[in-house]
Structure formats: structure tokens, C-alpha cells
Amino acid sequence: MGSVEYLVEVLKHGGSLSEFDKGKIVKTCMTAGCSLDLASRIAGEIESICYPGMPTIEIREKVYGMLCDIDKELAEKYLYRTNLRVRTSDYQLKKFNGQKITDSLVTETLVDEEFASQIAKAVEKELAKLKLDYVTAPLIREIVNVKLLEEGMESVRAKYTRLGMPVYDVKELFRGVGLEGGFCPQRIRDAMAEQIITEYTLLNILPPALADSHLKGDLNIHYIRDFPLKAESFSHPLKIFLEKGLDWNGTETFVLEKPAKTGGDFVRHLRKISYSAGLELSGLQVFPGILELAKKFARKDAEKFVKEMVSELSYASRITESGRVMLSLEDVGDFSKSLVKPLLENSGDANGLVFWIDAKDAQTLRTAVGRKPWGAQIILGKTPAYFEPEMGVAQTVCINLAHAESLEGEVESVQRLLKDAKEILIFKKKMLQENHRKGLWSYLGQMQEGTAVYDPLKQEYVISFCGLESVSEKELGETQVLESMRKYVNSLKKKSGMRFMLKKCGCPECCARFARIDGKRSCKNKVNLLEEFGEVVERWNMISRYADSQSPIEVDGGKASKKIIEACTGLLERGIPIRFV
């Protein structure tokens, strides 16, 4: 038979017809190790004997037979290459196609097609050496990443890498090792998801330098597991929801909850607000002016009503693992006094764990003595100024001042930490705006009278600091550092239009992480007021001159003697809040 003068269609494995392509035979033979001359000669011979409807499996058999006559080793390599199957991510076995590597590299990393094709060919050669019955998509991706590193393309590799967990780590989770928040199916599932989201944030959202700052302990991104998805905390506009109802899909066309008219409506609304918001927030939920609103619905038995309200909120916050709920205790006359007592005396769970207490008067202190409030989800306290309705904290980034290098009195290293924190917070703002635009949130995405309930530009972007005590050891004066940070944050507010805030860190998990990274014991949180009262007051006042906010002083409430209560009362009279731990 002479050379084919017309288009010939061959029969593929799946039953479809495809135009005969001599180039594919050349490419496959060269991948197996044939020279261009030999591959072209074999392809020409196959072309000369090809007939309409010739099965591709027959073509491969012919090529294999020709190679066997020339070089048995080349023939076996060709056979392996043509029979190679890939187990894809959707658990199907498909014939290996090197072009898919090229296409995925171009799509996912935006490299040019020529470079992607070069990498794909190198990967094919590596696979030919393995002699496997089939390969997996993750294995191919790992080999691609190795080839990218060999080419010095680290930034491309970061985009192309696969996120996930080692099999050993997953097995450990199933045994309950390393789990926080209890050993249960949902917590195991959440831990896996959190690992992937954290990796995605560090590899694909933040630039490598900022990701390295977090990993090295120069700073800590609070709730990094939720960084691209959730806001940190929020103060609910309760009056709007209770008076106008809850518009869960944010379209003002389908209201699931009518305005609250009874005490039962009020409690049910609070529970649903807490639960729904907990799915979209990582940290604190604030219920401002809740006693004033409760006064309207507590017709007869106020104590019973308040206990029911607290129990429902505590349950909702625990179910979503959304952090804590804050019930603000603004002064609403005698009614507030009648409600604070049942709030504190709420029996809670079997261990009496109901809420943390940010105490503000001696009566609250005495009632709290002997309780164990550290396992709770609800905080009592006066609403901070930055937690007005529809406001909150979008994100907190804590800088580790212990990593600030001594620069002979200068503070450039502190400025670098502040700059890194600022850049991360700007990324967070963009993520929140994008989530809002895409309609990711149901609760935070609600519209009331044409205005979004949650506006990323109204939220606080907090730069907190930890390790201030260490700067004096490095000849950097504390007041000098504080003044420098205050000026920097104030300048950010003016230049960016964002609500930046400087705060002393009060997160035990953050301090403990810094301590682990630095190989030190975690910084002390609780204070001995009988020995440190004057020092605590002096230090609080000094930091307050520069920072916008501070966390409450932590006191061991289970061992509070009469003298400690008097000392705590003295702190409260000076405007210093307290938390029993």
C-alpha cells in the first residue's frame, strides 16, 4: 500500500473516530527513548499501512512489534508509556496525556505554554522510569513541582502545589491526637479543613515574606484558619433585627423571622442570631444594650427569663464553636441590678461553667468568687467603644516585640513588624469585601433599608503587641517603642481611610505560640494583686497613654480572699477591667 493521500480516521478506545496523527506516534516513541529519526521512520511506516477505522490498539501493537525488531528495551518502554493510566482526583482511571500537564500549568500558574510543555516532557521521562501500573494525580503534581524547583521557579511551585495533610497526621487525628475543642467526628473534619485553609492562606493569599513572618513568630495572624472566609468579631444591631425581623438571604424579599413581640420571640431571635453569626465569625459576638431590650420582654419572672436567654446563647455559641458572646451591661436603672444577679447565678452545665466575667463592681466580684468561669462562652462587661452596633474587629495581627532587634535606640525593626501587620490587614479587608460582593455570607450579608448590615470599612483592623517587657532588655525603651507604634498606627488611619487600632495583646494562645517558637515558657497572664497592685496600675496607665485598648487583668477567681477582692475593687475604681481565670 502506498502513502496515505487522504485523511484517515482511526477508532479510539472509547468508540469515537479521530483523525490519524503521525505526530502523536513520533512524540510517544521519543518519550520512550527513540531518536527523532527512528520515531519518524516508524510513524511513516504506520502511516503507510493505516486504513479507515483502524483501532488505535492495533496501531500500538504495530509500533511495539517494529520496536521489538530494533531494540527490545525501547519496545518495553514504549509499551509502558502507552499503557500508563492516571487515577484522577475524581477517582477515575484515564490514559496518561502529557498535554494535560501543560494545560494545567498554563491555567493555574500563568506560565507560557513553551515552558509548560518543557516541564511536561521532563515529567513524562521521570514517569517512564517508575514502571508503575498507574500513577496518581498527586504524584504527577509532586514530580511537576520538583521539576519547577530544579528550574528555580519557586513562586510558580507555590501556586501549583497541592494542599492537604500527610496520611500519618490524619491517622493521629482519628486517634484524637492534637485535637482542640473535643474528640468528635465534626472536630476531626474541621481540623482537616482548617489545615487546608491555613496552607492556602500562607501559600496563595499572602506574599512569601508575610507568610514567613507568621511562621517564624515575628507576628501572629489571629484565626488564620478562617482568614479568607470569616470576620473576627461583630456587634449585632439588635434593635433593627428585633423591630424589623431577620432577612436571612439579604434580599429583603424573604423574611423568615417577623419582629419580636413576646419574650419567647426575643429569646428565639437571639439564639438564631448567635447561631447564624457564629457560622460567619471567628471570635467575639457582642450584644449591645441587651438588658435594655430584655426589659421590654421580661414581663413577670425576670430571673427565669434572663437565665433562659443566657442558656440559649451559650448553647448556640458552643454549637458553632464561634468564640464567645458578650452581653453588655449598660446601666438601665434598677433593672440592670435585678438581672446581673441571675446572670451570675446561672447554673450552667454540670461543672457550673457558663461564662467568663469581666467584673466592674464589688458585688459582681463577690458573686464570682469560687466559680470556675474559664470554660465558658459568655462574657459580661461594658461594651467597648469600638463595638457599637454593626461594628467589630475584622482581623487582629499581633506583633512579637521580643523579635525586635536592638538598633541603638532606634525602632526600625518595630516599624518593619508594624508594616508587615498593616499589609496583612489590607489583604484581609480585600478578602472581606470580595466575600461581601460574592454573597458568601447569609447573616452578615443582610440588607436593612438598602444598607448592608456588615460593612468591612466600618470594622476595626487591630495591630496588637506582645513582649513589650523584652524591649527594655534590648536597650529599646518601652515608652519610645509605644510612642513609635502609636504614631505609626495614627498615620495609617489618616492615609488609608481604614480603622486601624493599636491594642495590647490579651490572647493566651498567641502568647503561648510565640513562647513555643522562641523556646521559652509562655508569658505570665495572671497577676498576684497583693504583691503587684501598684505595678499593675502603673503599667496599665503607662500603656493606656499609647494604646487604644487593653485586655482585662486576669485574676484567679477561685482563690479570691477578702484582701484580693478589695484590691480588685481598687482596680475597678481606676477604670481597669478584670477577668477571673
Q: What is the DSSP string of 225-276?
A: GGTTT-BS-EE--HHHHHHH-B-TTSSSS--SBPPP-SHHHHHHHHHHHHHH
Q: Averaging pLDDT over each range in 300-304, 347-351, 359-363, 517-521, which range is the top one?
A: 517-521
| Predicted pLDDT of residue 474 | 57
For the residues 280-298, what does the mean pLDDT come to?
Answer: 79
353-379 mean pLDDT: 48
**Mean pLDDT over the full length of the chain:** 78
pLDDT for position 428: 96
| Closest by CA position to 147, among listed 171, 172, 112, 123 | 123
Confidence of residue 421 (pLDDT cuts 50, 70, 90): very high
Q: Rounded to an integer, what distance in angstroms lies between the CA atom of residue 571 and that of residue 361?
A: 10
Q: How confident is the model at residue 3 (pLDDT cuts 50, 70, 90)?
A: very low
Is the pLDDT higher at 370 or at 193? 193
Is the CB of residue 321 less than 8 Å from the CB of residue 181? yes
Q: Express each pLDDT in 103-160 by its tens digit.
A: 999 999 999 999 999 999 898 888 877 777 778 888 888 999 999 999 999 889 988 8
The answer on pLDDT for 36 being more than 80 is yes
Overall average pLDDT of the 369-376 stretch:
40
Tell me the domain boundaries of the chain.
Answer: 1-83, 234-381, 393-440+447-523
One-letter amino acid for residue 242 of the chain:
L
Q: Nine-digit cell at 169? A: 497526621
Q: Which residue has the higher pLDDT, 169 or 398?
A: 398
The pLDDT assigned to 350 comes to: 47
Indicate the length of the chain as a whole number. 581
Whether residue 463 is predicted with pLDDT greater than 90 in this model: the reply is: yes
* Structure confidence at residue 181 (pLDDT): 62
Categorize the per-residue pLDDT at 253 as very low, low, confident or very high, splitting at 50, 70 and 90.
very low
317 versus 17: the higher-pLDDT residue is: 17
Start-to-end Cα distance in the chain: 92
Q: What pLDDT does residue 388 have?
A: 77
Q: Which carries the bigger pLDDT value, residue 517 or residue 432?
A: 432
Overall pTM > 0.85: no
Distance CA 201, CA 182 (A): 25
Most confident listed range (59-73, 212-226, 395-409, 474-488): 212-226
Instruction: Quote the cell numbers at residue 231.
Output: 470576620
pLDDT (0 to 100) of residue 221: 96
The fraction of the chain above a pLDDT of 70, given in percent, is 75
532: pLDDT confidence band, cut at 50, 70 and 90? confident
Mean pLDDT comparison of 174-183, 186-195, 537-546, highest-scoring range: 186-195
Position 39 pLDDT exceeds 80: yes
pLDDT score for 397: 96
Q: What is the pLDDT of residue 401?
A: 87
Helix or strand (DSSP H, E) at 506: none
Secondary structure tally for the chain: helices H, strands E: 22, 18
| Residue 277 contacts residue 444 (beta carbons within 8 Å) | yes
Give 578's pLDDT tier (boundaries 50, 70, 90).
Answer: confident
Residue 432 has a pLDDT of 95
pLDDT of the residue at 319: 55
Rounded to whole angstroms, the Cα distance separating 121 from 219 reads 42
The pLDDT value recorded for residue 548 is 76
H/E/C letters for each residue in 399-433?
EEHHHCCCECCECHHHHHHHHHHHHHHHHHHHHHH
**pLDDT at residue 292, as a whole number:** 74
Mean pLDDT, residues 493-510:
87
Flag whether pLDDT at 89 surpasses 60. yes
CB 366 within 8 A of CB 565: yes
Q: What pLDDT, on the 0 to 100 scale, is given for residue 380?
A: 56
Query: Which residue in the block uniquely carries the three cell numbers 452581653?
Result: 327
Question: In the predicted model, what is the mean pLDDT of residues 268-276?
Answer: 81
For the chain, the 3-state helix, strand and coil shares in percent, each to the nearest 5, are 55, 15, 35
pLDDT at site 325:
66
pLDDT for 377 beyond 60: no
- Buried residues in 48-73 as b, exposed as e (16+ CB within 10 A): eebeeebebeebbebbeebbeeeeee
Reported as a pLDDT band with limits 50, 70 and 90, residue 433 is: very high
Reduce the DSSP state of residue 220 to 3 states and report it: strand
- Residue 409 pLDDT greater than 80, yes or no: no
Distances (CA, A) of 253 to 256, 357, 446, 451: 10, 40, 11, 14
Please give the grid coordinates belonging to residue 341.
444577679
- The better pLDDT of the pair 91, 545 is held by 545
Higher pLDDT, 422 or 173: 422
pLDDT exceeds 80 at position 396: yes
